[in-house]
């Protein structure tokens, strides 16, 4: 990164430029680059090429490094049989919705708790933060029976994206991060806005939010990751094949699909995310750095 | 209780009194209206918490004392608890889950921190290495695990790991088919696929350590390990504590790894986790009430654990 | 911006959160339109998935033809996945009430379905008017779906397990295709020869995960003449010489002869994937496992044949049987129930139509001539018709199944609390399959204790 040259880290740059330090530095760097490539890229190579192998070749001892008789058909089968387009669309749709819902509702809540401070605000905050200690697994059964028959309304959210979006809004960690960030915005700015006759919503929109981009970025990243990584919850609340996420879809098909095809599907499923990450990785990193995650 | 879970993260608000409405704030009507405004902003999130978090919490406890049969719900006292404890997999599941949590703390927790320190020292190939570490995170979790299951942990000599071991003239392993290797193998896969996120977060926090601190320490004659011990770790203590907490809560919920790598229970229950048992009872054995009871037990254990954690971190402060 | 405006905006955010969900749900519930324009609409699940191209086309053709014949009925097909009943998903749909109007279930699901309160009593609807072949349907199958004198589902398939074997591998190993093993000793000898072909081929393959291990243990135990539970269903009854023999046989093949392959902890799809890839010589299964091997696992049905389940010395003393049926969701209108019956009658219970349309299936990549589904009672008209059609259109060598058909083995159903008991028995199976030093006595003793605890807590 650009600022590296100026930042002093654990070991000074000067030390690394001199004799022994320099030798050690380059040796270590080479070892790490080679090692990491093997550890993190190696399996992915194995995955891409493994999906090209025939069923016979996979079972061969010792395993072959290159597919001898590449079978691109595995990829085509994976795309068609698993309906990957649909699975990917679902996953991105759920992720996008999760970002929107969390940004809107959690930001509003954090703003209220930080700046508007209505009565009982602290009690509500405490109750929210208390849920931080409750892992999802503990609530999975009662949450599930709640979703299939919402209290009072008696609505069934099974196979509806809201079954993914709304529970994610109840995320105390996000509200905590946002509130802490908003707390750091000087009260004077708020007071000044008020003198100008701005409403709270106006103040939020034109003063607070523009200053909060990094933290909003962080919350968005967390929202997307949560949807991408979650498995059991979408598996339970999206039982229909048309509403599955990628991870659940691949699992559901794995039992009845040859393993080359399962792996081919995994490769295809990873491509869009990898591209998105490569495009946004700078923003993600700077979001994490300047966001609220300072130690 | 949780406000203090992450010691020191809450910045003290400037003034405890409501400050926003400012000087011209007078009169009861105004106050009511301001409060209404405040709650209007809150209500969306509060409703979500209410319906999907607070209410299920209570409902889970209630359910754990009920039994629903043929559409009729009756109170059964502690029956669900005694049934769930009588489940032959109950103790193995706890044992496995705790074992996994501890192993994951040793491997999965320490590894990303040291990887981040290492990466932070490099002046070259930084972006490349960072992307590498993060690549597995981008695989759907099920995919990453199938990769391990089909290729790496194949118990025959066609498996990647066994082929490597054999080439090195080391004894091969049965991996997921060996009760001893099941948990270490699951921790390895889990660490590989999840560590990227933690590395990025640590990297971010390392970059916020003022360089002068290292300089000062170096002037005092502190070597590399001392600098890590006295500068790096204290400076990132907050994040370290936070991620430790998050990781423990996450590993206690171990589910997808046994489900995919071991097809559930593994060799002689060596992979069964508490979360898997919840799933097994709730959705295989038509016993949602028993599953709810197990959930409550899990909550009790975690609450006990957090209490201990809080006490420890309070002492340190 | 004035005060009311931001209120409006805040309210909007709220509506975004809740209002949408209302609309989302109201759109969902509109497939309940029962009598749109004088037509009766019913939703039916277990439509084949896209990967099963020919099966899906057959199904859709059947729907079109059925609707042409019954212009007042609309069938909406729902595909619930490659396995029509994957227990967790099935539980989810039952608990959530999102089962289709007419929904698929296993014979062992009756209790769970009744517990969920989702099924209706269809006793008064099931008769010759709605299902012309009803009187030919094996009464024993109807009995399985009956509780307290009330019928809850229409059986559409019935099977019993036997020894499925790969003819190609048999020939390559120098074994006689027409004289498959009759005892477990012969199975062991054949497995040894087949696995000697090398290349990762398992002579005999067996399950040990995802409750399928317990399921097969049960069948193997039946072959020894044993039973999993005592007749009153209160105690485990497998920790005895017969249970030990079952595990000993497997252990001998796995570690004595190393003829079961290295990969264990298999569940349903894993074994069939291997079988489809030509890596399995023998396994126990129902005749339709060869259908799955073809339609899902890229195998060839021509390679497979089936023998009766072997026994310890001579013929098996019993075998596991099971089957499938269609339940009817509670609160359907009588018209919907009748429409559903008609559809099932057409697609599942009419010789020459639907699943019995052998003329259509013959040229497809799908086996015709398998000794199943054993739906109709012996000697009934429907059975005779079905057998004739089957014979006339068979595309498999019926001789390969002749022994299986000609040698009836007494069929036993699954034990009470099957899934929970199977989960326990999985551990015993995985024990002998993954641990060369496993102690069979200890494994069975633990499993027995576990099952007894489980049954005690359950009652």
| Per-residue buried b or exposed e for C76-99, using 16+ beta carbons within 10 Å of the residue's own CB | ebbbbbbbbbbbbbbbbbbbbebb
Is the CB of residue B54 less than 8 Å away from at least one CB of chain A?
A: yes
The C-alpha of C37 sits at a distance from chain B's nearest C-alpha, in angstroms, of 34
**What are the C-alpha distances in Å from C35 to residues C97, C99, C170?**
21, 19, 57
C12 assigned to some structural domain: no
CA distance C356 to C378: 17
pLDDT, residue B205, reads 83
Residues of A in contact with C48 (CB under 8 A): none
ipTM for the whole complex: 0.84
**Whether C421 and C286 share a structural domain:** yes
Is the CB of residue C56 less than 8 Å away from at least one CB of chain A?
A: no
| Neighbouring-strand partners of residue B44 | none
At C76, phi and psi to the nearest 5? -105, 115
Mean pLDDT score across all residues of chain B: 82
Per-residue pLDDT tens for B128-162?
Answer: 888 888 888 888 888 889 888 888 888 777 778 88
Residue B216 tokens read as 């000062």
Q: Do A63 and B160 touch (CB under 8 A)?
A: yes
**Whether C281 and C422 share a structural domain:** yes
CA distance B174 to C435: 10
Please state the domain count of chain C. 2
Domain with C142 in it: 32-160+322-400
Residue A5 has pLDDT above 50, yes or no: no
pLDDT, residue B26, reads 58
Residues of C in contact with B155 (CB under 8 A): 262-264
CATH number where C214 lies: 3.40.190.10
Provide mean pLDDT across the span B107-120: 87
CA distance B42 to A114: 11
Of all residues in chain A, the one with the smallest CA distance to C272 is A256
Residue C301 tokens read as 């049905």
Q: Where are the domains of chain B?
A: 29-63, 90-271
Pairing, β C102-106 against β B66-69 = unpaired
Mean pLDDT score across all residues of chain A: 83
**Whether C216 and C196 share a structural domain:** yes
Per-residue pLDDT tens for B244-267?
Answer: 888 888 888 889 999 988 888 888
Return the residue in A138, A146, A165, A288 with the most chain B beta carbons within 10 A, the one to mutate for interface testing. A138
Is the CB of residue B39 less than 8 Å away from at least one CB of chain A?
A: yes
**Whether C42 and C144 share a structural domain:** yes
In 3-state terms, what secondary structure has residue C280?
A: strand
pLDDT, residue A145, reads 87
Pure H helices in chain A: 13-17, 19-36, 42-50, 55-58, 73-81, 84-101, 107-111, 121-130, 136-148, 162-169, 172-183, 187-195, 200-203, 209-211, 213-229, 232-237, 246-254, 259-290
The C-alpha of B180 sits at a distance from chain A's nearest C-alpha, in angstroms, of 23
Residue B3 has pLDDT above 50, yes or no: no
Q: Which of A116, A133, A139 sits opposite B56 (nearest CB)?
A: A139
**Residue C154 CB contacts under 8 Å (≥ 6 apart), including other chains:** C122, C126, C131, C145, C325, C326, C341, C344, C348, C349
Neighbours of A64 (CB within 10 A): 14
Of all residues in chain B, the one with the smallest CA distance to C15 is B44
**Whether C186 and C266 share a structural domain:** yes
What string of DSSP letters covers C360-406?
Answer: HHTTSSS----S----BPTT-HHHHHHHHHHHHH--S-THHHHHHHH
**Whether C255 and C343 share a structural domain:** no
pLDDT tens track of chain C, all 459 residues? 333 444 444 444 444 443 343 333 333 334 444 455 678 999 998 888 776 778 888 999 999 999 999 999 999 988 777 677 777 778 878 877 778 899 999 888 888 888 888 899 999 999 988 899 999 888 888 888 998 899 999 999 888 899 999 999 999 999 999 889 999 999 999 999 999 998 889 999 999 888 889 999 999 999 999 999 998 888 999 999 999 999 999 999 999 999 998 888 888 878 888 888 888 999 999 887 887 787 777 778 888 888 999 999 988 999 998 888 999 999 899 999 999 999 999 999 988 888 888 888 888 877 887 777 778 888 888 888 888 888 888 888 777 787 787 777 888 888 877 888 888 898 899 999 988 899 999 999 999 988 888 787 666
C 110-169 residues with CB < 8 A to B: 111-112, 114-117
Nearest to B294 by CA among B81, B49, B58: B81
**Whether C49 and C135 share a structural domain:** yes
Q: Which of C10, C83, C97 sits opposite A201 (nearest CB)?
A: C10
**Whether C314 and C348 share a structural domain:** no
Per-residue pLDDT tens for C374-432?
Answer: 788 888 888 888 888 888 888 887 777 877 877 778 888 888 778 888 888 988 999 99
**Whether C39 and C103 share a structural domain:** yes
Of all residues in chain C, the one with the smallest CA distance to B81 is C457
Q: Do C265 and B262 touch (CB under 8 A)?
A: yes
Q: Which of C24, C49, C279 sits opposite A59 (nearest CB)?
A: C279
| Per-residue buried b or exposed e for B86-123, using 16+ beta carbons within 10 Å of the residue's own CB | bbbbbebbbbbbebbbebbeebbbeebbebbbbbbbbe
Q: What proportions of chain B, in percent to the nearest 5, are helix, strand and coil?
A: 70, 5, 25
CA distance C359 to C58: 12
Of C350, C370, C400, which residue sits at a domain end?
Answer: C400
C22 assigned to some structural domain: no
**Whether C258 and C392 share a structural domain:** no
- Cβ proximity of B284 and C88 under 8 Å: yes
- Cβ proximity of B130 and B118 under 8 Å: no
- Cβ proximity of A264 and A47 under 8 Å: no
CA distance C330 to C338: 14
Return the residue in A118, A235, A238, A239 with the most chain C beta carbons within 10 A, the one to mutate for interface testing. A239
Please enumerate, as own/partner, the contacts of B99-103 that have beta carbons within 8 Å and a separation of 24 or more: B99/B183, B100/B183, B100/B186, B100/B187, B100/B251, B100/B254, B100/B273, B101/B248, B101/B251, B101/B252, B101/B254, B103/B183, B103/B184, B103/B187
Q: How confident is the model at residue B286 (pLDDT cuts 50, 70, 90)?
A: confident
C223 assigned to some structural domain: yes
- Cβ proximity of A178 and A106 under 8 Å: yes
Domains of chain A: 2-75 (no CATH), 78-290 (1.10.3720.10)
Considering the domain B90-271, what is its CATH architecture?
Answer: Orthogonal Bundle (1.10)
CA distance B188 to B178: 15
Top pLDDT among A121 and A14 is at A121
Of all residues in chain B, the one with the smallest CA distance to A222 is B197
pLDDT, residue C63, reads 93
Q: How many inter-chain contacts (B to C, CB under 8 Å) are there? A: 126
**Whether C134 and C177 share a structural domain:** no
Per-residue pLDDT tens for A210-254?
Answer: 888 888 888 888 888 889 888 999 988 887 778 889 999 888 888
Per-residue pLDDT tens for A63-83?
Answer: 777 888 888 888 988 888 788
Per-residue pLDDT tens for A96-139?
Answer: 999 999 999 999 999 998 888 888 888 999 898 888 878 888 88
Residues of B in contact with C7 (CB under 8 A): 37, 40
Q: Do A62 and B204 touch (CB under 8 A)?
A: no
C153 assigned to some structural domain: yes
The C-alpha of B282 sits at a distance from chain A's nearest C-alpha, in angstroms, of 7
Distance in angstroms between the alpha carbons of the first and the last residue of chain B: 16
The C-alpha of C299 sits at a distance from chain A's nearest C-alpha, in angstroms, of 10
Residue A47 tokens read as 């995955």
Q: Do A62 and B166 touch (CB under 8 A)?
A: yes
């Amino acid at each position: 990164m650009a600022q590296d040259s100026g930042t002093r880290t654990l070991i000074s740059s000067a030390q690394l430029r001199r004799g022994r330090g320099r030798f050690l530095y380059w040796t270590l760097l080479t070892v790490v680059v080679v090692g990491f490539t093997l550890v993190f890229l190696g399996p992915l190579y194995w995955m891409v090429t493994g999906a090209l192998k025939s069923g016979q070749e996979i079972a061969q001892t010792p395993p072959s490094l290159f597919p001898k008789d590449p079978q691109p058909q595995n990829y085509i089968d994976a795309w068609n049989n698993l309906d990957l387009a649909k699975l990917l669309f679902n996953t991105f749709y759920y992720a996008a919705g999760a970002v929107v819902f969390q940004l809107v509702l959690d930001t509003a809540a954090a703003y209220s708790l930080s700046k508007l401070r209505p009565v009982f605000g602290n009690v509500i905050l405490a109750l929210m933060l208390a849920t931080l200690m409750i892992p999802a697994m503990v609530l999975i059964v009662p949450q599930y029976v709640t979703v299939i028959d919402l209290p009072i309304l008696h609505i069934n959210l099974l196979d509806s994206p809201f079954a993914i979006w709304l529970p994610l809004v109840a995320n105390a960690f996000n509200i905590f991060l946002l509130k802490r960030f908003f707390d750091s915005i000087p009260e004077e700015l708020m007071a000044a806005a008020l003198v100008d006759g701005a409403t709270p919503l106006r103040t939020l929109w034109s003063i607070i939010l523009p200053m909060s981009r990094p933290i909003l970025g962080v919350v968005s990243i967390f929202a997307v990751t949560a949807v991408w990584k979650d498995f059991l919850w979408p598996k339970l609340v999206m039982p229909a094949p048309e509403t599955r996420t990628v991870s659940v879809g691949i699992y559901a098909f794995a039992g009845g699909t040859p393993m080359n095809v399962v792996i081919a599907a995994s490769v295809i499923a990873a491509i869009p995310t990898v591209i998105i990450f490569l495009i946004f990785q700078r923003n993600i990193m700077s979001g994490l750095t300047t966001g609220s995650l300072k130690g | 209780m949780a406000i203090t879970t992450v010691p020191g993260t809450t910045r003290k608000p400037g003034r405890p009194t409501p400050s926003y409405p400012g000087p011209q704030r007078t009169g009861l009507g105004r106050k009511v209206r301001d409060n209404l405004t405040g709650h209007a902003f809150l209500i969306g999130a509060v409703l979500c918490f209410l319906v999907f978090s607070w209410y299920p919490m209570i409902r889970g406890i209630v359910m754990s004392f009920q039994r629903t049969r043929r559409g009729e719900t009756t109170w059964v006292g502690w029956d669900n608890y005694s049934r769930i404890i009588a489940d032959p997999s109950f103790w193995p599941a706890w044992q496995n889950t705790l074992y996994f949590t501890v192993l994951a703390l040793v491997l999965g927790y320490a590894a990303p921190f040291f990887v981040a320190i290492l990466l932070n020292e490099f002046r070259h190939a930084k972006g490349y290495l960072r992307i590498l570490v993060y690549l597995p995170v981008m695989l759907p979790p099920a995919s990453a695990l199938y990769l391990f299951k089909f290729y790496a942990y194949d118990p025959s000599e066609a498996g990647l790991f066994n082929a490597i071991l054999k080439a090195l003239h080391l004894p091969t392993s049965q991996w997921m088919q060996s009760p001893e290797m099941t948990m270490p193998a699951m921790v390895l896969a889990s660490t590989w696929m999840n560590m990227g996120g933690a590395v990025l977060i640590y990297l971010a926090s390392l970059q916020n350590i003022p360089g002068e601190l290292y300089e000062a320490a170096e002037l005092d004659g502190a070597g590399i390990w001392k600098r890590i011990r006295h500068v790096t770790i204290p400076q990132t203590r907050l994040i370290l504590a936070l991620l430790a907490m998050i990781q423990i809560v996450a590993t206690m919920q171990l589910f997808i790894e046994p489900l995919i790598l071991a097809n559930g229970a593994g060799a002689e229950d060596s992979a069964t986790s508490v979360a898997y048992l919840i799933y097994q009872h709730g959705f295989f054995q038509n016993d949602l009430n028993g599953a709810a009871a197990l959930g409550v037990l899990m909550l009790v254990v975690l609450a006990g654990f957090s209490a201990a954690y809080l006490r420890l971190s309070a002492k340190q402060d | 911006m004035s005060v009311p405006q931001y209120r409006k905006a805040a309210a909007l955010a709220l509506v975004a959160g809740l209002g949408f969900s209302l609309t989302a749900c109201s759109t969902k519930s509109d497939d309940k339109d029962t009598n749109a324009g004088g037509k009766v609409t019913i939703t039916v699940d277990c439509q084949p998935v896209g990967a099963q191209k020919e099966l899906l086309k057959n199904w859709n053709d059947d729907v079109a033809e059925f609707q042409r014949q019954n212009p007042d009925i609309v069938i909406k097909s729902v595909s619930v996945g490659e396995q029509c009943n994957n227990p967790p998903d099935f539980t989810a749909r039952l608990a959530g009430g999102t089962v289709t109007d007419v929904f698929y279930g296993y014979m062992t699901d009756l209790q769970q379905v009744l517990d969920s309160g989702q099924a209706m009593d269809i006793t008064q609807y099931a008769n010759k008017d709605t299902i012309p072949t009803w009187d030919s349907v094996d009464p024993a199958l109807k009995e399985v779906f009956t509780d307290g004198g009330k019928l809850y589902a229409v059986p559409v398939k019935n099977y019993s397990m036997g020894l499925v074997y790969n003819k190609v591998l048999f020939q390559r190993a120098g074994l006689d295709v027409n004289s498959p093993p009759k005892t477990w000793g012969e199975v062991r000898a054949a497995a040894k020869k087949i696995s000697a072909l090398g290349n990762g081929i398992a002579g005999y393959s067996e399950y040990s995960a995802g409750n399928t291990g317990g399921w097969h243990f049960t069948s193997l135990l039946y072959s020894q003449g044993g039973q999993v539970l005592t007749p009153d269903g209160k105690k485990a009854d497998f920790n005895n010489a017969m249970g030990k023999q079952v595990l000993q046989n497997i252990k001998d093949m796995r570690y004595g002869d190393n003829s079961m392959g290295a990969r264990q902890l298999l569940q349903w799809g894993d074994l069939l994937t291997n079988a489809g890839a030509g890596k399995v010589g023998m396994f126990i299964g129902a005749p339709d496992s060869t259908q799955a091997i073809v339609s899902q696992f890229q195998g060839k049905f021509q390679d497979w044949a089936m023998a009766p389940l072997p026994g310890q010395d001579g013929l098996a003393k019993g075998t596991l049987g099971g089957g499938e049926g269609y339940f009817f969701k509670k609160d359907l209108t009588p018209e919907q129930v009748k429409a559903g019956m008609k559809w099932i009658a057409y697609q599942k219970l009419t010789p020459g139509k639907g699943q019995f349309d052998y003329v259509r299936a013959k040229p497809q990549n799908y086996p015709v001539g398998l000794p199943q589904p054993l739906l109709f009672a012996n000697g009934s008209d429907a059975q005779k018709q079905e057998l004739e059609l089957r014979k006339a259109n068979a595309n498999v060598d019926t001789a390969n199944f002749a022994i299986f058909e000609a040698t009836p083995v007494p069929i036993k159903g699954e034990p009470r609390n099957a899934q929970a008991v199977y989960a326990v028995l999985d551990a015993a199976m995985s024990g002998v399959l993954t641990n060369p030093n496993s102690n069979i006595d200890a494994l069975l003793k633990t499993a027995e204790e576990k099952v007894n605890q489980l049954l005690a807590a359950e009652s």
